[in-house]
Chains A and B, each alone.
Chain A
C-alpha cells in the first residue's frame, strides 16, 4: 500500500460514509485469465467497498477495470479468487446468480437501453428479476413496479420523459435512464463501467453528479470505472488504481499523488494531466 507523504494535490471532497463494520463488497485475490491462459486481464486484486461508499477504479484502457467490474456480477467468471456480497460468497453458486444480480445494478458506457422501448419500459426492465417469466410474457408489471420505476425516473429528473422512446433522448439523458433502471432494482451496489466515457465533459459531470447524489442519499455503494483523473478526484470517496491488471493504489483521493498517477499510467514524462488516452 502506498502512503506517500507529499499529498500535495488535494481537491477531493471529504468522504461522508466512513462506516465501520462488514464491507458490502469484498474482493479477495480475484484474477481473470482469458483464452488458454495467455492473456492476463486481472491478477490478484483485493479490496473492500463499504456501505454507501463511492469507489472509483482508475486506470488506463486495458488495465482490467472492466474485467474487474464484470467479475462482480459475473458477466465474466473470475478464474481465481473470491468475491463476497454482504458477507456471502457469490463466486460459487451459479443457481443463485439471478438473486445476486438483482442486488447489483449496472451502468454501461454505451447506456445499453432498448431504443425502441419507452423510457419507462426501460426502467421497468430493472424490475424483471422480481417478477415471474409468465408475467413478463405480457409485458405486464404491478402497480408497485410502476410506482418504483417512476420514482427512480424522478430521481434523475426525467419523469416527464417517461413515455418517450428511449432513442429520442440525448446521450446524457439516456445514461440517466440507465441509472434509473439500475435504481429500480433496489440494489445495494451499483457498478458503473466508464459511465461517462461517451459523453462530453459538461454532460459527463452532470451524469456523475446524479449518480453520486442519488446513490449517496439511498446509501447505495458504487464502484465506478473511470479513466479521467479529474473526475476520479472530484467524485471518489476512495480510489483504487489499476495498471496491467494489478492494484497499484488504494486510498483517498487526497493521497493520490503525481508519483502514483505516473505509476498507474506508466508515465515517465513530467506532465501527466492528460494521461488518460
Chain B
C-alpha cells in the first residue's frame, strides 16, 4: 500500500454538526414516509391477509392456455403499429415545437413561451387520459391509441429535442447565417445534423416505452393486445391471461434488446 506522502488519503470524517444534520434529515424523511403511508392506508396486516387471495388468482393462471396464441398475431401487430405511429406522430409534433422552444433558436418570446406551454400541456396529461378522449372522439380501435401516444410523447420528445438543440455548437450555425442562408436553411444544415443522433436515440427509446404503453391503452378500448388481455380477465379466463402476459413479456424484451442494438449502431 503506497500512496504519495504529500497527500495522505484520510477519510473525511463527519463533524458533530454534520452528523446531527444527517440524523435530522433521516428523521424528517422517515416521518414523511410514515405520514404518506397512513394516507395510503398502507397496512402490513391487510397485505398478509390478502396474500391467499392473490395466491389463488395466480394459481388459476396455470397452466397458461396457449390456444389463444393463434389469435394474438393481429392484436400484437396492432400494438406495435400503435407504438410506431405514436412515435412518428410524436416526432412530427415535437420537432417543430422543440425548435421553437429552444432558447438558442431565438424565436420571438411569445412564440417560444407558446411552444413551451403547448409542450407542457401535452406532456402533463397522461396518454391514458388522451386515449379516453380520443376513443370518445374517433371510436374504438388502434387509431385513437396512436393519437394518444403521439400527443403525449410529442410533448415529451419536444422537450427533449429542445434541450438537445440548446446544447449544440453554435459556431457552424453562425457560419451558415454568414453565408446568407436563411433561418430555416441554417436549421436544416447545422442544427438538425448536430442533433440527429440524439433524435434517433430518443425516438427509439420512446418507441420502446410506447410498446409497453400501447398494451395498457388497449385495455381502455384503444385496440391491440391489451384489449384482448382485458377481455380475458373480464371473462375470468385466467389461463389465457397468463399466456397473453407472457407474450407481452417476450415482445417487450425483444423490442428493448433490438432497439438497444439499433441505437448503438446508429449513434455510435
Q: Which residues of A contact B193 (CB under 8 A)?
A: 114, 116-117
User: For residue B188, which residue of chain A has the nearest CB?
Assistant: A136
Q: Which residues of A contact B189 (CB under 8 A)?
A: 114, 117, 121, 125, 128, 136, 139
Q: Shortest distance in angstroms between B101's beta carbon and chain A's nearest beta carbon?
A: 20
> Which of A113, A121, A125, A182 has most chain B Cβ within 10 Å?
A125
Q: How far is the CA of A126 from the CA of B176 in the complex (A)?
A: 7
Chain B window 158-182, contacts with chain A (Cβ cutoff 8 Å), 1 for yes, 0 for no: 0000000000000110111111111
CB pair A101–B188 under 8 Å, yes or no, is no
Q: How far is the CA of A113 from the CA of B196 in the complex (A)?
A: 16
Q: Which residues of A contact B194 (CB under 8 A)?
A: 114-116
* 24 residue pairs bridging A and B, Cβ less than 8 Å apart: A75-B177, A75-B178, A98-B180, A100-B180, A104-B178, A106-B179, A108-B174, A108-B175, A110-B171, A114-B189, A114-B193, A116-B194, A121-B189, A125-B176, A125-B181, A125-B190, A128-B186, A129-B180, A129-B181, A129-B185, A137-B184, A137-B188, A181-B179, A185-B179
CB pair B180–A128 under 8 Å, yes or no, is yes
Q: Shortest distance in angstroms between B80's beta carbon and chain A's nearest beta carbon?
A: 29
User: For residue B196, which residue of chain A has the nearest CB?
Assistant: A116
A183-215, CB < 8 A from B: 185
Chain A window 221-261, contacts with chain B (Cβ cutoff 8 Å), 1 for yes, 0 for no: 00000000000000000000000000000000000000000
Chain B window 187-219, contacts with chain A (Cβ cutoff 8 Å), 1 for yes, 0 for no: 011100110110000000000000000000000
> Which of A115, A128, A185 has most chain B Cβ within 10 Å?
A128
Q: Which residues of A contact B180 (CB under 8 A)?
A: 97-102, 128-129, 185
Judged by a CB distance under 8 angstroms, whether A105 is at the interface is: yes
Q: Which residues of A contact B178 (CB under 8 A)?
A: 73, 75, 101, 104, 106
Q: How far is the CA of A121 from the CA of B189 in the complex (A)?
A: 9
Q: Which residues of A contact B171 (CB under 8 A)?
A: 108, 110, 112
Q: Shortest distance in angstroms between B198's beta carbon and chain A's nearest beta carbon?
A: 12
CB pair B190–A114 under 8 Å, yes or no, is yes
User: For residue B176, which residue of chain A has the nearest CB?
Assistant: A125
Q: How far is the CA of A21 from the CA of B188 in the complex (A)?
A: 41
Q: Which residues of A contact B196 (CB under 8 A)?
A: 116
B239-253, CB < 8 A from A: none
Chain B interface size band reads 20 to 34
Q: Shortest distance in angstroms between B187's beta carbon and chain A's nearest beta carbon?
A: 9
CB pair B179–A75 under 8 Å, yes or no, is no
Judged by a CB distance under 8 angstroms, whether A38 is at the interface is: no
CB pair B179–A102 under 8 Å, yes or no, is yes
Judged by a CB distance under 8 angstroms, whether A133 is at the interface is: yes
- With contacts A75-B177, A136-B184 known, what are 9 further pairs, Cβ within 8 A? A98-B182, A101-B178, A112-B174, A116-B197, A121-B189, A128-B180, A128-B186, A133-B184, A137-B188
CB pair A113–B188 under 8 Å, yes or no, is no
CB pair B174–A133 under 8 Å, yes or no, is no
Q: Shortest distance in angstroms between B182's beta carbon and chain A's nearest beta carbon?
A: 6
Q: How far is the CA of A129 from the CA of B176 in the complex (A)?
A: 9
Contacts A112-B171, A114-B194, A116-B193 hold; do A126 and B179 have CB atoms under 8 A apart?
yes
Partner of A128, one of B172, B174, B185, B197: B185
Q: Which residues of A contact B181 (CB under 8 A)?
A: 125, 128-129, 136
Q: Shortest distance in angstroms between B188's beta carbon and chain A's nearest beta carbon?
A: 5
Q: Which residues of B contact A129 (CB under 8 A)?
A: 179-182, 185
Q: Which residues of A contact B190 (CB under 8 A)?
A: 114, 125
Q: How far is the CA of A98 from the CA of B178 in the complex (A)?
A: 9
CB pair B179–A128 under 8 Å, yes or no, is yes
> Which of B179, B190, B194 has most chain A Cβ within 10 Å?
B179
Q: Which residues of B contact A181 (CB under 8 A)?
A: 175, 179
Q: Which residues of B contact A108 (CB under 8 A)?
A: 171, 174-175
Q: Shortest distance in angstroms between A210's beta carbon and chain B's nearest beta carbon?
A: 18
Q: Shortest distance in angstroms between A122's beta carbon and chain B's nearest beta carbon?
A: 9
Q: How far is the CA of A110 from the CA of B194 in the complex (A)?
A: 16
Q: Which residues of A contact B197 (CB under 8 A)?
A: 116
CB pair A106–B176 under 8 Å, yes or no, is no
Q: Shortest distance in angstroms between B53's beta carbon and chain A's nearest beta carbon?
A: 57
Q: How far is the CA of A70 from the CA of B265 in the complex (A)?
A: 41
A63-84, CB < 8 A from B: 73, 75
